[in-house]
Amino acid sequence: MTQGTRTTQGSVVGVGLGPGSQDLMSVRADRLIRQATHIAYFRKKGRKGHARSIVEGLLAPDVIELPMEYPVTTEIPVDDPRYNALLSSFYEQSVAQLIEMANAGCDVVVLCEGDPFFYGSFMHLYTRLLNQVSVSVVPGITGMSAAWTATGQPITWGDDILTVLMATLPEQALAERIAQTDALVVMKIGRNLNKLRRALVTAGREHQAWLIEYAAMAQQRVLPLSDLDPLAEGTENVPYFSIVLIHGNGRRP
């Protein structure tokens, strides 16, 4: 940098894209994405990335892209210390790249599926970026909101208690919490479907559960979970964008 000149530091903003449809993004998110000179997004190696797919056709022709590719962790149990170590290293590297871009005066839009602060990967960047660069968040509609809307039924009434669970929890913990709540949302199902079904049976609520795949997307599917034959080929897993829910039935006028 020559004497007498100064580079203004740029910023990082995590933009919630909503559940997967462009017309469910906020006006602010749409504006920031269309005006972006630099975008970053998470993806699996060899994939385009779902967040990137959502904004197809919205980006400026000369936008600079930073794909942040997750390390392969499927062969490592979640409770194995190596799992957290790999992810921590990945987030540190991603943050270093974002800081470098911001310090060069670039404003970077980080694309985030759903809402950035609701079980999203961006929160792991956000906490590391604080006090390093200017960082902010644009909220988005969550996938679970799109899921219960797809069923055509309210998720909560009156004094209903809503519980959000991860299907990665131990089976007994799932069963206990399912039995205790009024309304339920279960995320991160994938390979945990059979475990979740057993927990629902233990809690006596298997016939109240609904399965929603790809909520608000073109391939959306909505059905009672009991309609899914557990013995049919391929039903031991569900797509990543799948949610199981139980509607509340509380006080109403």
Domains of the chain: 11-141 (3.40.1010.10), 144-246 (3.30.950.10)
Average pLDDT of the residues in 245-249: 97
234 token code pair: 């391929």
Tell me whether residue 228 is exposed, middle or buried, using C-beta atoms within 10 angstroms of its C-beta: 0 to 12, 13 to 18, 19 or more. middle
Collapsing DSSP to helix, strand or coil, 177 comes out as helix
Structure letter (DSSP) for residue 116: T
Phi, psi of 110 (to 5 degrees): -100, 120
Average pLDDT over residues 162-189: 97
**Residue 229 predicted with pLDDT over 90:** no
What pLDDT is attached to residue 252? 86
pLDDT the model gives residue 50: 93
Residue 194 dihedral angles phi and psi, to the nearest 5°: -65, -40
Tell me, rounded to whole angstroms, the distance of Cα 208 from its chain centroid. 24
Helix (H) or strand (E) holding 184: strand 183-187
The answer for 7, left when phi > 0, alpha when psi is -120 to 50, beta otherwise, is beta
Whether residue 6 is predicted with pLDDT greater than 60 in this model: the reply is no
The lowest-confidence range among 45-59, 65-79, 148-162, 215-229 is: 65-79
1 pLDDT band (50/70/90 cuts)? very low
Q: pLDDT band at 232, cuts 50/70/90?
A: low
Instruction: Look up residue 4 and give its amino acid.
Output: G
Residues in the chain: 253
Hey, what are 154's tokens?
Answer: 């309210």
Choose between 253 and 58: higher pLDDT. 58
pLDDT at 5 exceeding the cut of 90: no
pLDDT of the residue at 235: 61
Measured from the Cβ of residue 145, the count of other Cβ atoms closer than 10 Å reads: 20
Q: Which helix (H) or strand (E) holds 171?
A: helix 171-180
